[in-house]
Amino acid sequence: MGSDATVVAVGGGPGLAQRARQRLDHLEGLWSRFRPDSEVSRMNAAGGRSTEVSAETIRLVGTAVEAWSVTRGAYDPTVLGDVLRAGYTVSFESLRAVPAGPLAHIEFRIGAGGIRVDALNHTVELPPGVGFDPGGIGKGLACVNVGGDLRVCGTPPDSAPGSGWAIGVDDPFTDGSIAVLGLADGGVATSSRLLRRWTGPGGKPSHHLIDPRTGKPADSGLATVTVVAARAWQSEMLSKAVFLTGATAGAVLLDDFGAAGLLVTDDGSLLKTANLASFLGLEQVTA
């Protein structure tokens, strides 16, 4: 998934952390678009034909299509062609400046509405010419701390029962934090244009959050969006959808879902939705 992962297991039997690592390795092998033998890569190479996949990938694709539907296309798992054309062609730790020439042949287009998922026969069919990129949905379904986006439940170490987990939200412009969230059970995800950045074709600065309406890296006036939701995949899709739609429409979207958000604008202003107050810890957010 191109990210570091952290697992904290409190109580339970021995070997839980190792089992979690094995599970993440397994999902990486199924879902990484950087591995030519992964199920996602085989789907993208199928040219419109049905691909037999695992139950995990059926859930991944089905969830991604659901996220596309409920956000009315603000989250789109089929922007792979635009991501590649922007220069994100290898895993991020290997990414360097990419010249425009080698990317000219990339013709994947968007088309999430045409994806067909057959859970009974374990097959996925992408429309011809459509590329699928699991992105944050894969991290959300893994349900641990992957790349800083996480799922928590239970009682954290050295805490009183019911006190919840303390989750720091980094300041995108400094080394400090802007808030501490208290969460007993749920998911937190942050989308940012400042972390996964590179020099793309033509020497232009690029980032990985692609606006499906333009095919270009989004420019919504937001630097980061942090979302708290009941499930990790929901916080993932909402953080991206809010980032792409902007502060005003994004706040409405979060309220509609009953989720909470902390938005940081390009000029450093902090915007918080009404639902965020119940998650704020000792370090309060200042407007």
CB of 190 within 8 A of CB of 198?
no
Least confident of 41-55, 144-158, 162-176, 253-267: 144-158
HSE (CB half, 13 Å, CA atoms) of 275? Answer: 17
CB of 169 within 8 A of CB of 177?
yes
DSSP state string for 107-168: --B--GGG-EEETTTTEEEPPTTB----HHHHHHHHTSEETTBEEE-SPPTT--TT--EEEE
Least confident of 56-60, 206-210, 281-285: 281-285
Which pLDDT tens digit goes with each residue over 41-75? 999 999 889 999 999 999 999 999 999 999 999 99
Domains and CATH numbers, the chain: 48-279 (3.10.520.10)
pLDDT at residue 199 above 50? yes
Percent of the chain with pLDDT over 90: 47
Which pLDDT tens digit goes with each residue over 224-246? 999 999 999 999 999 999 999 99
State the Cα–Cα distance between residues 243 and 75, nearest whole angstrom. Answer: 10
Percent of the chain with pLDDT over 70: 79
Within a 10 A sphere around the Cβ of 61, how many other Cβ atoms?
28
At 202, the pLDDT band (50, 70, 90 cuts) reads low
At 147, the pLDDT band (50, 70, 90 cuts) reads low
What ranges make up the beta strands (E) of 49-171?
Answer: 50-52, 116-118, 123-125, 145-146, 150-152, 165-170
pTM equals 0.82
